[in-house]
Amino acid sequence: FLPWGIGIQKIKANPEIHLPILERNWNDSDETVRRSVANHLNDISKLQPDLTKDFCLSRLGISEEGDKI
């Protein structure tokens, strides 16, 4: 979604395909990884806000690190 990057249409058409990867990295010990998850979720929210909201709400309270996302 970066203005200087090329868009990958398959991902834009089906952003939910990345949710399993984001879920695995939700509680990563590395803050950079967690920020990357948050950034990707922000991109998905532009296409499917309800999907992003549901994904995040279902993980609240699991860990302090994840809740920061």
Give the tens place of pLDDT for each residue, 11-40.
Answer: 788 888 989 999 999 999 899 999 999 999
Cα dist from 65 to 5, 6, 41, 54, whole Å:
29, 31, 15, 18
Give me the mean pLDDT over the 53-57 stretch: 94
Q: Which are the contacts of 65, defined by CB distance < 8 A and separation ≥ 6? A: 27, 28, 29, 31, 34
Q: Please tell me the pTM assigned to this model.
A: 0.82
Diameter over CA atoms, the chain: 36
- Say which residue, 69 or 48, is predicted with more confidence: 48
- Check residue 1 and give its pLDDT: 63
pLDDT for res 54: 95
Cβ pair 61, 28 in contact under 8 A:
no
Residue bearing tokens 């809740």: 67
